[in-house]
Structure 1
C-alpha cells in the first residue's frame, strides 16, 4: 500500500468513525436523559454496582484476541479456526466465572438485584463469541464505514428498547435488557456483513505467540485501569464523599474532549500502523505527524477550556459545583501530554511490542501512587496537584522510552510540540487579560474569552510556524 493510499484510507476511516459516533451519540443522549427522568437513583445504583465486575471482564476480553488479529501479518483459515477455539474456551470461562461470582458480589453489595443482573448479563459472553473474529477482520481491513453503520443501527435499536421498557415500568431491567439487545443486534449484523463459518480447533500451540501478545495487552489493560482509577481508590479511603465528588466531576469535565477524540483515533490508527509495521521509516513518519497534529489540536482545546472553566462549570453545572473548578483546571493543563502519551500506543501495538507498553504502565503506577499519597490530604485540589506533579515526570520517562523504541530523536519530538505550546502560552495570557475586562459568569464573558484565545492562538502559529497552519488546512481538505 502506497503512502497516499494509506493516508486516504486513514482519513476516510476517521470520517466514518466520527460520523457514526456523532449520529448515534445525539440520539443516545436524548433518550438517555429521558430514561434518567423515568428511573430512580437506586435503579442506576444497582446497575453501576453490577457493572464493576461485568465492565472489568469486558475490558479484559477486549484486549485478548482482537488486537492479535488486527496486528498479525498473515491470517490463514487454520489460524482463524484455532483463534475461534481459543475464543470459545476463554469466553465460556468468563461466563462460568461471572455466574459463580454473582451471588458473592450480590452479598458484598447487600443486593440480590446485583446478583440477578450479573447472572443475566453473563450470557453476553456466549453471544460475543460469534462477533469477535468477524468484527476484528473488519477492523483489520479498516472497513469503518460498515462498522459505523452497524454500530449506529444497534445502538439506536437498543436505546429505543431501553426507553420502551422504562416506560412500561421495568426499572433497572430496562437498562440491562437494552445492553443485551445491543450485543445481540451488533453480533447479528456483524456476522451478516462478514459471515465466517468456521469449525473451532482447540489445538492452540501454533497460535501461542498470538495468545501471548493478547495476554500481555490484557495485563496492560488491567494495569492501565488501575492507573486511571487509583486516585479515586485512594481518595475514597482518605477524603470525604464531597471532596471525592468534586474531584470526580472536575476530572470527568477535563476528560470529556479526550474521551470523544482519542478512541476515534486509536480505532483507526492501530490497524493503519499494523499494515506498515515492517516499514520503520513510514511508521516513524506517521508517529511524528500524529504528534504534531495532536499538540496542534489539544493545546487550544484543553488549555483553552482550562482558561475558561471558571465560567463554564458554574454556567453548565450550577454554583454548587464551583469547588470542581480548580481540580478541573489543573488536570486540563496536563491533558495535552496525556493525549500525546496515549497516541503512541496504537503504533506500539501495531509493531507487536506489547511488553514495551506493559513496562510503561509499571513505571507510571508507582510514580502516580507516590504523588497521590503525598498530596491527597489537601482534598480535591490535592489529588489534581498530584496528577500535575506526577504526570509530567511520567511523560518524560515514558515518551523517552517510546522515542527510543522508534529511533526518534528528542530534537525531532520537541519540534512537534514547541510551536503549539508557545502559541498556547500566549493564548493563555490574552484570555486572562480578557477576564479582567469582561468579568462575571455569563455567556458574553465566555464568548469574548474563547474568541480572544482562539484568534491569538491561530495568529501566533501563522507568524511563528506557518507550516502548522498549512498542515491543518491540508488535513481538513483531504478529510
Structure 2
C-alpha cells in the first residue's frame, strides 16, 4: 500500500468512527435539547448566551494553544511535549483567574447579576481542561478517533440527560451550566483513564519554542475568529433585551446544529491529515476542491431543506412560545452553506502554517458583518439574522478569491463544479414551497410529506445532473 493510499484509508477509518460516534449520540441529544428548550425560557438562554461570550472565548483560545501545535508539528520530541505541557497548565490557570476576576465586570456591562454567578462557577472548568490537553492532542495526532469518539459519546449523552433532569426539577438556566460542567468533567476523567499524559510537565520554555510560536499565532487567529462569530450576541446584547437575545440564540443554535455536528468531524480529521501532506501542496489543493464539492452535496439539502420547512418544524418540536425564532432561524439557515464552505478551507491553511492569511480573512468577514449588525440590530432577533445574510456573502466573495490564490485553483472552475449542486438545491426549495400552498396546516404529517418531497426532488436532481460526484462518493465509501 502506498503512503497516500495508507493515509486515505486512515482518514476514512477515522471518519467512520467519528461519524458513528456522533450519529449514535446526536439523535438522543437533539431530542433532549428540544425538550429542555420547551421547559426553559428565552431569559434563561439569554443569560447563558451572554456569559458564554467570555467562557467560550477563553476555552476556545486555550484549546487552540494547547492542542493545535502538538498536531501540526512535523517532529515531536518528548522534551518538547513535557515543556509544552507545563506551559499549558500555566495558561489554563491564568484563564481561570482571569474569568473569575472579570465576572462582575461582564455582568455590570450587560446589567445582569446572574451572568457573574455563571462565569464564576464555570471558570473552574479550566482547571479540569488543563489535564486533558496533551493526551487529547496526541490522540488526534495519531488519528485515534475511535477512542475519542467513544469518550465523546458517553460524556455527551450523560450531560444531555443531566441537563434535562435539572431543567425538569426547576434549575432554570443553571441546568445548562451544570450540564456543560458534567460533560467536561466526565470527558477529562475518561481521557486520563484511557490515555494518561506520557510525561510530567516541565517549564523549560526553550524546549518548545517552535510549538509556542505556532500556538501564539493560532491563539491570535482564534481570538479574532471567536470575536467574529460572536459579534451578533456581543453587539445585540448591548442594544436588545435579554429575551430577544434568547430568541436569537435558540434560532442560531438550531441553525448551527448540523454544522456543529458535521464540520468539527471533518476538521478534526482533516487537520492532522493535511499536516501529514505539508510537503505535497498540489495534493492538498486537489483534496480541498474535492472536499468542498462533496461537503456541499451533503450540507446544502440539510441547511436549505430545514430553511424551507422551518415554519412547520420549530412549532412541532419546541412549541409555539418560540414562534418568534422561526424567521431568524430560516434566514441563518439560508446562509449556512457559505459559512460551512469558508470553514472547510481552514484546516488546510492551518496545516500549511498560513495563520496570518486566516487572520486577514477573518478581519474582512468581521468588518462586513459588523456594519450589517449595527445597521440591522434595531429589528431585533430577525435583524441580527438578516445582518449575517447581508454581510457575510459579500465578505465570502473576497475570501474565496484569496483562497483560490493561496491554493492555486481557478475560481471559475470551482464555481462551475458546484453550480449543478446549487441548482438542485434551488429546485428542492421551490418544490417544497409550492407544496406549502396546498399543505397549509402545520402538523407532523404535512411536515413529513414536505421533507419527503424535498429529499426526493434533490436526489433525482443529483442523479440527472451530478453523477460524477455521486460516483466519487461511492468510491470513497467503498475504499478500504
Tell me which interval the TM-score lies in, with the shorter structure as reference length: 0.7 to 0.9
Deviation track 1:211-247 (CA, whole Å, cap 9, x = no partner) reads: 2222222222222222222223333444455654544
- Corresponding position: 1:345 with 2:346: yes
Within 1, Cα distance between the matches of 2:4 and 2:313?
A: 42
Cross-structure match for 1:394? 395
| 1:269 to partner: Cα distance | 1.4
Describe the SS at the equivalent of 1:451. Answer: helix
Cross-structure match for 1:335? 336
Cross-structure match for 1:56? 57
Is the alpha carbon distance of 1:140 and 1:230 closer, same or farther for their aligned partners in structure 2, counting shifts above 3 Å?
A: same
**8 Å Cα contact 2:110-2:238 kept in structure 1:** no
Within 2, Cα distance between the matches of 1:34 and 1:443?
A: 17
Cross-structure match for 1:90? 91
Describe the SS at the equivalent of 2:151. Answer: helix
**8 Å Cα contact 1:216-1:358 kept in structure 2:** no
Cross-structure match for 2:137? 136
| 1:165 to partner: Cα distance | 8.4
Corresponding residue pairs, total: 479
- Corresponding position: 1:77 with 2:70: no
Describe the SS at the equivalent of 1:196. Answer: coil
Deviation track 1:290-318 (CA, whole Å, cap 9, x = no partner) reads: 10111111222212222222322333334
Of 27-36 and 204-213, deviating more is 27-36
Within 2, Cα distance between the matches of 1:137 and 1:253?
A: 32
Cross-structure match for 1:456? 457
- Corresponding position: 1:410 with 2:430: no
* Cα root mean square deviation, aligned: 3.4
**8 Å Cα contact 1:423-1:461 kept in structure 2:** yes
Within 1, Cα distance between the matches of 2:307 and 2:287?
A: 29
Of 10-19 and 39-48, deviating more is 39-48
1:213-292 mapped onto 2 (5 Å cutoff)? 213-239=214-240, 244-292=245-293
| 1:466 to partner: Cα distance | 1.4
**8 Å Cα contact 1:82-1:202 kept in structure 2:** yes
Within 2, Cα distance between the matches of 1:289 and 1:422?
A: 18
| 1:464 to partner: Cα distance | 2.1
| 1:173 to partner: Cα distance | 7.4
- Corresponding position: 1:428 with 2:442: no
Describe the SS at the equivalent of 1:344. Answer: helix
Which residues of structure 1 form unaligned runs of 5+? none
**8 Å Cα contact 2:49-2:246 kept in structure 1:** no
| 1:65 to partner: Cα distance | 2.1
Within 1, Cα distance between the matches of 2:385 and 2:60?
A: 26
Q: What is the TM-score with the length of structure 2 in the denominator?
A: 0.86
- Corresponding position: 1:300 with 2:301: yes
Within 2, Cα distance between the matches of 1:41 and 1:367?
A: 28
Of 175-184 and 220-229, deviating more is 175-184
Of 178-187 and 324-333, deviating more is 178-187
| 1:421 to partner: Cα distance | 0.7
**8 Å Cα contact 2:159-2:179 kept in structure 1:** yes
Is the alpha carbon distance of 1:450 and 1:478 closer, same or farther for their aligned partners in structure 2, counting shifts above 3 Å?
A: farther
Q: What is the TM-score with the length of structure 1 in the denominator?
A: 0.87
| 1:368 to partner: Cα distance | 0.9
Cross-structure match for 2:313? 312
Within 2, Cα distance between the matches of 1:175 and 1:362?
A: 32
Deviation track 1:395-442 (CA, whole Å, cap 9, x = no partner) reads: 111111112111111133123311101212222232233223333323
Cross-structure match for 1:472? 473
Of 280-289 and 425-434, deviating more is 425-434
Describe the SS at the equivalent of 2:437. Answer: helix
Which residues of structure 2 form unaligned runs of 5+? none
Is the alpha carbon distance of 1:364 and 1:192 closer, same or farther for their aligned partners in structure 2, counting shifts above 3 Å?
A: same
Is the alpha carbon distance of 1:116 and 1:82 closer, same or farther for their aligned partners in structure 2, counting shifts above 3 Å?
A: same
Describe the SS at the equivalent of 2:131. Answer: coil
| 1:17 to partner: Cα distance | 1.5
1:8-23 mapped onto 2 (5 Å cutoff)? 8-23=9-24
Of 218-227 and 373-382, deviating more is 373-382
**8 Å Cα contact 2:159-2:182 kept in structure 1:** yes
